[in-house]
Every structure is written in structure tokens, then in C-alpha cells.
Amino acid sequence: MKSMSNEIMSELRKDYIYNLMIKGEREDGRKFDEYREITIDTNVIEKAEGSARVKLGDTHVVVGVKIQTGTPFPDTPDKGVIITNLELIPLASPVFESGPPREDAIELARVVDRGIRESESIDLSKLCITPGEKVWMVFIDVHVLDDGGNIMDAASLGAIAALMTAKLPAQKFGVGEDTPVPMRDVPVAVTAVEIGGAIMLDPSLDEQSISGTKLTVISNQDGGLSGMQKSGVSPLTTEQINYIVDISIEKAKELREKFLEI
């Protein structure tokens, strides 16, 4: 009986959001291309080399950056290493469970990592201490505390904010003076969903749950693309994809201004 009641409520919710969409409206009053309020706080974890807390509407993530020395990969002996992990804490949502990383958590971590890596936002060659022997290893850990929808963009913003304030702990490891992580770009992820033919940015949890498909576009400061990720079974037309890419690049410029406040 409870399951049937939940299904009925879900359908009613879906119809409500869909009917609003037809009228060009969203349940929280936003425009289709408008983001929820974003706040970014840095240096929120004392023992981390860099950290940030991001609130995107009801979505809340904390990112910590730990840096230590290690051995480079054989195929990149003169470059540092980036490792990104993302944890969906059970308290953040009824659908998150304890145990090994969920498939969606792994996907989220890969997309955040890809945006940082493919944009070359960190100059990995400057993370080399001794070629073939010792490099800096940068561990980026994303913790989702509340899932209010669009974890992807919040995690991406948090990772970059944490990196921008992080320092290489050279004194701790006896290899010189502490210096900032060598950043040279600021990639920003913008996520859109398709609902009944309409495209909406920064989906709420309800919008995300009823959407036919989701597309995340990660762009760099010069407008170039460093990553795209589609999920969902519904197809997107060429026109829809082009629209999402174009509006994502423009929206990223606006979101990037948030980092000026750090």
C-alpha cells in the first residue's frame, strides 16, 4: 500500500512539474536557464591542504584536497598525479546506501576528474619533484552531504575552489617552501535536463528525477570544451545539443565569477 501511495505521489509530482513547464515555469520560480543560489566557502577543513564547501540550492557538498609525495606513473614520469573520489553519504539521501561506491558516484567522480584533467587546469609538469622518482600526488575527495539535485555542478565547483586555495606542503616533506597548486585554468560544469522537449539548467531533485535525459558540459575559460557526459535513455536532437553547449559556455562565464569572491 505504501509503495502504491508513493507511486501515485510521484506521478502527481511529475504531472505538476510537467504542467508548469508547459507554461514556461518552474516550481521554484526560476527561469529555465537560471541557477539556484550558490555559495562557496573555502578553507573549511583545517587538516586538508585545500578545501571548499558549496551550497547549490538544497545541494550541499564538501571537498577536501590532500597532497603528498609519491611515485609517478611509468608513462608520465615527469608529471604529477590527480586522483578524484566522490562519496554519496547515506544521510544525504534516502536512496544512498552504505558500502562500496555506487555506480553513479563513480560516474560523478570521473566527470569531475575529467574536467580538471582534460582542461589541464593543473600544470602537472610543475608537480614533478624528481623525474621518474618523486612527484606530488593530489587527492580530491568530494563528500555529498545533501542531495537537492545537480550534484555534478556543485562537486565540480567545489573541486576547483578547493584546488585554487590549496598549497603544496613542501616543508612538511622536506622539498622546499610551500607554494600554491599550479593552476592555469578554471573549468566549470553546467548541467541541463530535458523535460518534454524543454531544456532546463541546474535541475532540482524532482526535475532531475522525471527528466528524460541529462547532459553536463564542462568548458574552460577560453570557451573550449574539456568534457561532456550524457545520462538517461531519451535522445537529444542536434539542435538541443548545440543549444545546451552554447548556453553552458555562457553560463560558465557567469558561474566562474563566483571564484572571484574566494
- pLDDT tens digits, residue range 142-161? 999 999 999 999 999 999 99
- Phi-psi category of 165—alpha, beta or left, where left has phi over 0 and alpha has psi -120 to 50? alpha
pLDDT the model gives residue 5: 44
Which of the four CATH numbers 3.20.20.150, 3.30.230.70, 1.10.3720.10, 3.40.50.1220 does domain 31-261 have?
3.30.230.70
- In angstroms, rounded to a whole number, what is the distance separating the alpha carbons of residues 12 and 8? 6
Per-residue pLDDT in tens (0 to 9) along the chain, 262 residues: 434 444 554 778 788 888 888 888 999 999 999 999 999 999 999 999 999 999 999 999 999 999 999 999 999 999 999 999 998 877 666 666 555 456 788 999 999 999 999 999 999 999 999 999 999 999 999 999 999 999 999 999 999 999 999 999 999 999 999 999 999 999 999 999 999 889 999 999 999 988 989 999 999 999 999 999 999 889 999 999 999 999 999 999 999 998 877 7
Minimal CA–CA distance to 112: which of 72, 83, 145?
A: 83
Amino acid at 56: L
| pTM (two decimals) | 0.91
For the chain, give every domain's residue range. Answer: 31-261
C-alpha cell at 211: 527528466
Q: Are 109 and 85 in contact (CB under 8 A)?
A: yes
pLDDT the model gives residue 167: 97
Q: Are 202 and 34 in contact (CB under 8 A)?
A: yes
pLDDT the model gives residue 4: 45
Helix/strand/coil for 184: coil
Phi, psi of 201 (to 5 degrees): -90, 155
- In angstroms, rounded to a whole number, what is the distance separating the alpha carbons of residues 64 and 143? 8
pLDDT the model gives residue 163: 98
Residue owning grid cell 578547493: 162
- In angstroms, rounded to a whole number, what is the distance separating the alpha carbons of residues 218 and 118? 10
Please count the other Cβ atoms lying within 10 Å of the Cβ belonging to residue 137. 17
- pLDDT tens digits, residue range 54-109? 999 999 999 999 999 999 999 999 999 999 999 887 766 666 655 545 678 899 99
pLDDT the model gives residue 196: 85
